[in-house]
Chain A
Amino acid sequence: MEKNLNDIFQAKIDREEKIEPKDWMPDAYRKTLIRQISQHAHSEIVGMLPEGNWITRAPTLRRKVALMAKVQDEAGHGLYLYSACETLGIDRDTLFEQLHSGKAKYSSIFNYPTLSWADIGSIGWLVDGAAIMNQVPLCRCSYGPYARAMVRVCKEESFHQRQGFEILLNLSKGSDEQKAMLQESVNRWWWPAMMMFGPSDADSPNTQQSMQWKIKRFTNDELRQKFVDICYEQAKILNVTLPDPDIKWNEERGHYDFGEINWDEFWQVVKGNGPCNKERIAARKTAWEEGAWVREAAVAHANKRAARKTKKVA
Chain B
Amino acid sequence: MANHLHDFLIHLGDNALILGHRLSELTSHGPVLEQDMAMTNIALDLVGQTRNIFQVAAKLQGNGATEDSIAYTRDATSYKNILLVEQKNGDFAKTVLRQFFYDAFNYHAYQRLLKSSNKDIAAIAEKAIKEITYHLKWSAEWVIRLGDGTEESNSRINAAIDDLWPYTEEMFKFTDYELACHDEGIFPDIHGIKAEWDEEVKNIFAEATLTVPEDGWMHDGGKRGVHSEHLGFLLAEMQFLQRAYPGQQW
Q: Do A and B bind each other?
A: yes
For residue B63, CB closer than 8 A to chain A, the reply is no
From B148, which residue of chain A is reached at the shortest CB distance?
A301
From B234, which residue of chain A is reached at the shortest CB distance?
A56
Known contacts A174-B248, A300-B149: A295-B41 contact under CB 8 Å: no
From B70, which residue of chain A is reached at the shortest CB distance?
A61
- Whole-angstrom distance between the alpha carbons of A313 and B40 in the complex? 38
Which residues of B (54-91) have their CB < 8 Å from a CB of A?
54, 67-68, 71-72, 91
- Whether the Cβ atoms of A57 and B238 lie closer than 8 Å is yes
For residue A125, CB closer than 8 A to chain B, the reply is no
- Whether the Cβ atoms of B37 and A60 lie closer than 8 Å is no
> In the complex, how many angstroms separate the beta carbon of B148 from the nearest chain A beta carbon?
6
- Whole-angstrom distance between the alpha carbons of A61 and B91 in the complex? 26
Bitwise, B10-38 to A at CB < 8 A (1) or not (0) is 00000001000100110111111111110
For residue B241, CB closer than 8 A to chain A, the reply is yes
Bitwise, A61-98 to B at CB < 8 A (1) or not (0) is 11111001101100110110010000000000000000
- Whether the Cβ atoms of B51 and A65 lie closer than 8 Å is yes
For residue A304, CB closer than 8 A to chain B, the reply is yes
For residue A251, CB closer than 8 A to chain B, the reply is no
> In the complex, how many angstroms separate the beta carbon of A162 from the nearest chain B beta carbon?
17
Contacts of B71 in A (CB 8 A): 61
For residue B245, CB closer than 8 A to chain A, the reply is yes
> In the complex, how many angstroms separate the beta carbon of B66 from the nearest chain A beta carbon?
9
Which of A68, A82, A177 is B245 in contact with, Cβ under 8 Å? A177
The stretch from B42-50, B171-179, B198-206, B214-222 touching chain A is B42-50
> In the complex, how many angstroms separate the beta carbon of A153 from the nearest chain B beta carbon?
15
From A178, which residue of chain B is reached at the shortest CB distance?
B248
Contacts of A117 in B (CB 8 A): 241, 250
Which of A59, A68, A174 is B27 in contact with, Cβ under 8 Å? A68
For residue B152, CB closer than 8 A to chain A, the reply is yes
Which of B17, B25, B27, B156 is A71 in contact with, Cβ under 8 Å? B27
Which residues of B (116-169) have their CB < 8 Å from a CB of A?
144-146, 148-150, 152-153, 156
Which of B28, B35, B241 is A57 in contact with, Cβ under 8 Å? B241
Contacts of A55 in B (CB 8 A): 24-25, 27
Known contacts A59-B250, A68-B40, A294-B153: A52-B27 contact under CB 8 Å: yes
Known contacts A61-B54, A61-B68, A69-B44: A304-B148 contact under CB 8 Å: yes
What class of interface size applies to chain A in its complex with B? Answer: 35 or more
- Whole-angstrom distance between the alpha carbons of A163 and B30 in the complex? 25
Which residues of B (207-250) have their CB < 8 Å from a CB of A?
237-238, 240-242, 245, 248-250
Which of B44, B144, B237 is A301 in contact with, Cβ under 8 Å? B144
What class of interface size applies to chain B in its complex with A? Answer: 35 or more
- Whole-angstrom distance between the alpha carbons of A64 and B67 in the complex? 13
Contacts of B24 in A (CB 8 A): 55-56, 64, 68
For residue A11, CB closer than 8 A to chain B, the reply is no
- Whether the Cβ atoms of A298 and B149 lie closer than 8 Å is yes
Which of A49, A290, A291, A296 is B152 in contact with, Cβ under 8 Å? A296
- Whether the Cβ atoms of A52 and B28 lie closer than 8 Å is yes
From B54, which residue of chain A is reached at the shortest CB distance?
A61
Which of B35, B50, B54 is A294 in contact with, Cβ under 8 Å? B35
- Whether the Cβ atoms of A297 and B146 lie closer than 8 Å is yes
Known contacts A57-B237, A175-B248: A294-B27 contact under CB 8 Å: no
For residue A287, CB closer than 8 A to chain B, the reply is yes
> In the complex, how many angstroms separate the beta carbon of A246 from the nearest chain B beta carbon?
34
From A64, which residue of chain B is reached at the shortest CB distance?
B47
> In the complex, how many angstroms separate the beta carbon of A307 from the nearest chain B beta carbon?
12
- Whether the Cβ atoms of A48 and B47 lie closer than 8 Å is no
With A68-B43, A78-B33 known, 14 other A-B pairs at CB within 8 A are A52-B27, A56-B24, A57-B237, A65-B44, A68-B24, A68-B44, A177-B245, A178-B245, A286-B29, A291-B31, A291-B32, A295-B31, A297-B152, A301-B145
8 closest Cβ pairs, A-B complex: A291-B31, A297-B149, A297-B153, A48-B28, A52-B28, A59-B250, A59-B241, A294-B31
